């Protein structure tokens, strides 16, 4: 019996592209495209020759809408961009306007902003982790992630009244102070969370299928990552130590003690590890912010911009007048333009606000991290398998609401 | 698999010499000294520096700022257009937000464009990330980036009429849009 097998020539494995390339459309209803993203894939067998993202299915003209709304009305629009990290969007927008108004934000409001934003970052990463694992085929992780995320959404609801669209931050501070017992509830979440992260690690990190699906997949070198404008965990997964919270600190992040996780592997696995470690760092920041909460005002002392307290309105004529004017006419913002970047859960979220002096902005532009990260997908998916595309999209952590705006 | 804060061999080191590095306004002044016609105006406001660049030189300025030892603006954060108003002249502007991953400083370049000739050379040759930003600006403002490898609409459908973020485009559009 001979061990050699004669392979007929038509089945021979050859290192040249087949004559017939196939173009298929992946999405916009494909579940692993995280929304309505369409990819035009040129395939050679199962290998991707070219992947071209086609976006815009969720375009609702938000940037146009800003120009027709007063500054304070714009906050609710920001919620609907990156709907997994609405507080980050709120923060970037209100901070850009505050920069134009040159407002001083009280200490307590700053601390609460950091506290809630880091909780939101954990929630956003939990959705990423659950859906990323689900795309690759691990279903259990999804349920555990959403269980933890539910706790955070309940906390955000307690503070702001909204779960997905909190609009909690206002130009000049917060909508209102934290409710009674909030610190205790955050502490309860904090106590259980680290154990949950370890659970996620046992489910995925040691899982050989998960490792095979993610390691050496979707590689992008540090130079390419910078050239393509990647930011956030995607950039840090390529070995670049860059975090806007450290590079251009805002809301007092320079005073918090946390590490910036960086991985050198440049692949889907590295981006996975960065986000897993980031959740623990955010947990650390929340603990520090909790210990810093001191009683104090949560709104800036700017009666012409910040709505007065309910009680003051009932007793003070000027407070009533200011309230009426802010609601009915808005407030004038000095002419000028600013670009304010923050480290959102997905990367650099920059807000460009241009004012010509009136109560409505002349131009608002959002530099969404998902938009830029997705633009590098064709580069990362060259030569990958179709199934890898799913892993790569998952590792980019895109939200189409922010991409299409 | 090491932590970034103390990791050697990362592309960016923790910024230690903060007091020694030059500010963006000094960098722009140096650039202006070297090439007087590259920067027509420097605006400093709200802690941000804006350099107004004639569109002829935008690519030269970007290449210079990207490769300069002190400038090192290797990261293009954003490109966005703006419409100053139908009456204004020059009507359009294109803002380039530059960032340095090593020096951590930021700079805005601004190119002013007239409506009749809303063309600007592409910077996709300098940073590949400019590709989608320029497509978006083309889509929403109708500003043409000469030399762009793939200048198509990106957010709106290919057969859309007009440019949605222009000030004379009505908020609700011209008529109910239906896909043909």
Residue from A38, A66, A262 whose CB has the most chain B CBs within 10 Å, to mutate: A262
Question: Regarding beta strands A38-44 and A47-54, do their DSSP bridges make them parallel or antiparallel, or are they unpaired?
Answer: antiparallel
Residues of A in contact with B164 (CB under 8 A): 61, 64
| SS3 state at B132 | helix
pLDDT value at position B93?
92
> Which two tokens mark A117?
């934003």
Contact assignment for B155 to A99 by CB distance below 8 Å = no
Mean predicted confidence (pLDDT) in B100-119: 90
* pTM metric for this prediction: 0.88
pLDDT value at position A137?
84
CATH no. of B24-146: 3.30.460.80
A236 closest CB neighbour out of B4, B76, B156: B4
Is pLDDT at B159 greater than 90 in this prediction? no
Contact between A313 and A138 (Cβ < 8 Å): no
Is pLDDT at A81 greater than 70 in this prediction? yes
To the nearest 10 degrees (0 to 180), the angle between helices A86-101 and A107-136 is 150
Burial of A320 (0-12, 13-18, 19+ CB in 10 A): middle
Can you say how many angstroms the Cα of residue A21 is from the centroid of all Cα atoms in its chain?
Answer: 36
Residues of A in contact with B99 (CB under 8 A): 341, 348
Contact assignment for B97 to A367 by CB distance below 8 Å = yes
Residues of B in contact with A56 (CB under 8 A): 153-157
Chain A residues 145-204 within an 8 A CB cutoff of chain B? none
Contact assignment for B12 to A367 by CB distance below 8 Å = no
Pick from B70-74, B145-149, B169-173 the range whose average pLDDT is largest: B145-149
pLDDT band at A129; cut points 50, 70, 90: very high
A348 closest CB neighbour out of B48, B77, B82: B77
For chain A, give the number of residues.
405
B155 touches chain A (CB under 8 A): yes
Structural domain spans, chain A = 62-404
Residues of B in contact with A370 (CB under 8 A): none
With a cut of 0.95, is the ipTM above it? Answer: no
Percent of chain B, pLDDT > 90? Answer: 31
Neighbours of A379 (CB within 10 A): 17
Is pLDDT at A109 greater than 70 in this prediction? yes
pLDDT band at B177; cut points 50, 70, 90: low
Chain B: residue nearest A260 by CA?
B4
Is pLDDT at A49 greater than 60 in this prediction? yes
Size of interface A-B (CB pairs under 8 A): 132
DSSP assignment string, B51-73: EE--GGGHHHHHHHHHH-TTT--
- What dihedral do alpha carbons B53, B55, B57, B62 form, nearest 10°? 70
Percent of chain A, pLDDT > 90? Answer: 49
DSSP assignment string, A63-92: HHHHTTS-GGGHHHHHHTTSTTSHHHHHHH
Summarize pLDDT for B2-42 with one digit per residue, the tens.
444 444 444 444 444 444 567 888 887 877 788 878 888 88
Summarize pLDDT for A110-128 with one digit per residue, the tens.
999 999 999 999 999 999 9
Nearest-angstrom CA–CA distance, A204 and A211? 8
Among A290, A287, A284, which Cα is nearest to A261's?
A284
Contact assignment for B129 to A372 by CB distance below 8 Å = yes
A358 touches chain B (CB under 8 A): no
* Average per-residue pLDDT for chain A: 88
* Average per-residue pLDDT for chain B: 82
Structural domain spans, chain B = 24-146
CATH no. of A62-404: 1.10.645.10
pLDDT band at A12; cut points 50, 70, 90: low
Summarize pLDDT for A253-304 with one digit per residue, the tens.
989 999 999 988 889 999 999 999 999 999 999 999 999 998 988 888 888 8
pLDDT value at position B11?
46
Mean predicted confidence (pLDDT) in B98-104: 90
Is pLDDT at A19 greater than 90 in this prediction? no
| Residue linked to tokens 């669209």 | A165
Mean predicted confidence (pLDDT) in A129-157: 90
pLDDT value at position B19?
45
Residues of B in contact with A396 (CB under 8 A): none
Contact between A84 and A400 (Cβ < 8 Å): no
Residue from B132, B156, B171 whose CB has the most chain A CBs within 10 Å, to mutate: B132
B74 touches chain A (CB under 8 A): yes
pLDDT value at position B79?
93
Nearest-angstrom CA–CA distance, A295 and A222? 44
Mean predicted confidence (pLDDT) in A221-226: 91
Q: A176-180, A228-232, B65-69: lowest mean pLDDT where?
A: B65-69
Alpha helices, H only, A137-221? 140-160, 182-204, 208-214
Mean predicted confidence (pLDDT) in A183-187: 92
Question: What does the DSSP 8-state code read for residue A137?
Answer: T
A273 touches chain B (CB under 8 A): yes
pLDDT band at A35; cut points 50, 70, 90: confident
pLDDT value at position A352?
94
């Amino acid at each position: 019996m001979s061990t050699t097998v004669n392979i007929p020539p038509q089945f021979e494995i050859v290192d040249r592209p087949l004559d017939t390339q196939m173009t298929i459309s992946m999405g916009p209803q494909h579940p692993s495209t995280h929304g309505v993203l369409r990819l035009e894939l040129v395939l050679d067998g199962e290998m991707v020759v070219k992947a071209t993202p086609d976006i815009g299915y969720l375009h609702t003209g938000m940037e146009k809408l800003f120009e027709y709304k007063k500054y304070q009305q714009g906050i609710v629009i920001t919620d609907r961009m990156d709907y997994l990290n609405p507080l980050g969007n709120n923060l970037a927008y209100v901070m850009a306007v505050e920069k134009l108004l040159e407002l001083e934000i009280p200490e307590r409001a700053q601390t609460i902003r950091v506290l809630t934003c880091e909780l939101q970052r954990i929630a956003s990463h939990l959705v990423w982790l659950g859906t990323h694992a689900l795309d690759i085929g691990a279903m259990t992780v999804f349920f555990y992630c959403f269980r933890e995320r539910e706790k955070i959404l309940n906390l955000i609801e307690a503070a702001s009244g909204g779960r997905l669209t909190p609009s909690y931050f206002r130009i000049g501070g917060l909508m209102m102070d934290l409710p009674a017992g909030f610190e205790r509830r955050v502490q309860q979440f904090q106590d259980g969370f680290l154990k949950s992260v370890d659970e996620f690690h046992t489910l995925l990190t040691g899982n050989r299928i998960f490792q095979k699906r993610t390691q050496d997949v979707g590689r992008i070198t540090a130079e390419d990552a910078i050239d393509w404008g990647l930011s956030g965990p995607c950039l840090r997964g390529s070995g670049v130590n860059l975090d806007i919270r450290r590079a251009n600190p805002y809301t007092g992040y320079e005073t918090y003690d946390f590490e910036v996780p960086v991985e050198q592997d440049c692949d889907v696995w590295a981006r996975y590890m960065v986000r897993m470690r980031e959740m623990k760092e955010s947990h650390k920041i929340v603990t520090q912010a909790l210990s810093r909460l001191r009683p104090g005002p949560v709104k800036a002392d700017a009666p012409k911009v910040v709505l007065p307290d309910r009680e003051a309105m009932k007793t003070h004529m000027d407070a009533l007048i200011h309230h009426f004017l802010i609601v009915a006419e808005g407030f004038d913002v000095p002419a000028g333009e600013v670009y304010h970047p923050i480290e959102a859960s997905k990367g650099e979220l920059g807000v460009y606000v241009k004012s010509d002096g009136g109560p409505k902005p002349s131009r608002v532009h959002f530099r969404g991290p998902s938009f830029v990260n997705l633009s590098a997908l064709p580069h990362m998916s060259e030569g990958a398998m179709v199934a890898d595309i799913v892993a790569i999209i998952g590792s980019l952590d895109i939200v189409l609401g922010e991409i299409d705006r | 698999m090491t932590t970034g804060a103390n990791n050697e061999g990362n592309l960016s080191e923790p910024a230690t010499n903060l007091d020694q590095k030059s500010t963006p306004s000094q960098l722009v002044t140096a650039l202006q000294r070297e090439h007087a016609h590259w920067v027509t105006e420097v605006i400093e406001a709200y802690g941000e520096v804006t350099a107004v660049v004639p569109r002829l030189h935008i690519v030269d300025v970007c290449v210079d700022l990207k490769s300069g030892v002190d400038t090192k603006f290797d990261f293009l954060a954003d490109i966005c257009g703006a419409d100053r108003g139908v009456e204004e002249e020059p009507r359009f502007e294109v803002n380039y937000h530059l960032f340095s991953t090593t020096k951590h400083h930021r700079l805005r370049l601004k190119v002013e464009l007239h409506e009749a000739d809303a063309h600007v050379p592409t910077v996709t040759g300098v940073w590949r990330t400019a590709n989608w930003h320029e497509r978006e600006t083309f889509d929403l403002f109708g500003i043409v980036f000469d030399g762009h490898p793939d200048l198509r609409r990106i957010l709106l459908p290919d057969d859309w009429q007009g440019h949605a973020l222009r000030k004379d485009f009505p908020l609700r559009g011209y008529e109910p849009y239906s896909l043909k």
